[in-house]
Amino acid sequence: QQPVQSPQAVILREGEDAVINCSSSKALYSVHWYRQKHGEAPVFLMILLKGGEQKGHEKISASFNEKKQQSSLYLTASQLSYSGTYFCGTEMTYKLSFGAGTTVTVRA
Amino acid sequence: DAGVTQSPTHLIKTRGQQVTLRCSPKSGHDTVSWYQQALGQGPQFIFQYYEEEERQRGNFPDRFSGHQFPNYSSELNVNALLLGDSALYLCASSFPGAYSYEQYFGPGTRLTVT
């Protein structure tokens, strides 16, 4: 079952902050975050594992609440390069299910 | 180091035809997953191949089939194409060293069914 993301879209000015939420009706072992720019492939941002471990490549932070089956991605002091569609994914037995995405537009 | 490559880039087919899409994983990766992404939607998991076997499958009909070769490259075959099969087909590779792992996506194949 697909996770649910909110909001669907957000518009920011450079330097502003935003939060993207992801929730699941099923117990989560891990949450994955990807960003896809228009016309490009999704790019890995981070994985949050049950127990608190995080693996990521970018200076974008996230949280994972195992009890509430929720994750949030924090875009802090946003830059123009943060624009794109953000997808959260939940994994169960090798199957990664993505949400519908949150489109982020950062304006100068 | 080449990333994930896919071919062809674009493809136009007629309803009822069959299509084969190809994927070469990133060097060192042995697992390939296929996704279908309709316009404005998130990628939908089709299946995953590991050690030349389908290890997991999403909610797609049997018209969607695949194969993994000994060099880890993979093919996605779709038979009896429907208009609704028009989408971007993404291939992603990974090296499952742990239970959860990051996936590297290829640029995709844009399939249009007329």
pLDDT score of B78: 98
pLDDT score of A67: 87
Check residue B38 and report its DSSP letter. -
pLDDT score of A54: 73
Q: Give the DSSP per-residue string, A87-108.
A: EEEEEETTEEEE---EEEEEE-
The verdict on A91 touching B (C-beta cutoff 8 Å) is yes
- Tens of pLDDT, residue by residue over A40-54, are 999 999 888 877 777
pLDDT score of A13: 97
pLDDT score of A97: 93
**Which chain B residue shows the shortest CA-CA distance from A32?**
B102
**Which chain A residue shows the shortest CA-CA distance from B100?**
A30
Maximum Cα–Cα distance across chain B: 42
d(CA B92, CA B107): 9
Q: What stretches in chain A show pLDDT beneath 50?
A: none
CA-to-CA dists, residue B102 to B29, B39, B92, angstroms: 11, 23, 9
Check residue B58 and report its DSSP letter. -
pLDDT score of B17: 98
pLDDT score of A52: 72
In the predicted structure, residue B111 carries a pLDDT above the cut 60: yes
In the predicted structure, residue B20 carries a pLDDT above the cut 70: yes
The verdict on A66 touching B (C-beta cutoff 8 Å) is no
pLDDT score of B14: 98
The residue-averaged pLDDT of B26-52 equals 95
In the predicted structure, residue B8 carries a pLDDT above the cut 70: yes
B71: helix, strand or coil = coil
Query: Looking at the partner chain, which of B48, B104, B105 has a beta carbon nearest the beta carbon of A94?
Result: B48
Assess contact for B79 and B66: CB atoms under 8 A: no
pLDDT score of A58: 63
Assess contact for A78 and A12: CB atoms under 8 A: yes
pLDDT > 90 fraction of chain B, expressed in percent and rounded: 89
Q: Give the residue from A96, A97, A98 with the most B CB atoms within 10 Å of its CB, the best one to mutate.
A: A96
Split at pLDDT 50, 70, 90, the class of B35 is very high
CB atoms within 10 A of CB A27: 11
pLDDT score of A20: 97
Cα distance between the two ends of chain B: 37
- Tens of pLDDT, residue by residue over B69-99, are 999 999 999 999 999 999 999 999 998 665 5
